[in-house]
Amino acid sequence: MKKAIIIGASTGIGRETAIQLAQQGYEIGICARRKELLEQLQSEIQGTCHIMSMDISETEEAREKLASLINSMGGVDMIILNAGIGIPNADWKGEEKIININVTGFASLANFSFEYFRTIGKGCIAGVSSIAGLRGGSISTAYCASKAFVSNYMEGLRCKAAKENLDITVTDIIPGFVDTPMTEKQTRTFWSASAKKAAGQLISAVVSGKSKGYVTKRWVLVATIMKVMPLWLLSKI
């Protein structure tokens, strides 16, 4: 039986990913800060589901908890790093929180995941970045920068795996707008996908070993435009 851990599984894409992987026969481990939401999800899943309450901004504790969860599951084949926050028009305290979770917390667990799979000789890592990480943004400056970090860190791990000839796939999941608690207060959205559809495309990208997976696929067009958009136009968005 395949085994997967989803970090950031209490709501949105992570929650739906856990449900769909369980439906596909995976033994799963789910992690998030709010234990009550994990227990609720666990009760809805048919099949073996392990839970671990985890605050990824507490990096050393989070790494220890991930190691404990992997051990209790008898090893895993896939780790999906979905935890993250966004705070529009954040002050410094808000930006600091974004950086602690989306950058430091993410890197800590991505590093741990890579070293774990290097030890056992194979595995799959997926990190959820964002279309927002392709360029800077005036409304969510720290968030855009943090998601650019996620994509570049994942690319670095992919290069490391290739250089060392390791059987480790590293997939950067790049969502556009998805109907989740993070986006429910945003008014300027388009092409918004359900969490169910986003999770399905995430799983497909990871299982097929893709280096990048846009969610949904139509966001490839937006990414192409954003990469060449002049600053004067970008600043008006």
Decide if 116 is catalytic: no
> Residues near 146 by Cβ (< 8 Å), separated by ≥ 6?
84, 98, 99, 102, 103, 106, 133
Q: Residues, the chain, total? A: 237
- HEC string for 94-157: HHHHHHHHHHHHHHHHHHHHHHHHHHHCEEEEEEECCHHHHCCCCCCHHHHHHHHHHHHHHHHH
Q: Which of 182, 221, 216 has its CA nearest to residue 199?
A: 216
Bridge partners (DSSP) listed for residue 127? 81, 172
Question: How many C-beta atoms surround the C-beta of residue 219 within 10 A?
Answer: 20
Which one of the listed residues 116, 143, 153, 214 is annotated catalytic? 143
d(CA 121, CA 123): 7
Tokens of 78: 């896939």
The residues assigned a catalytic role are: 143
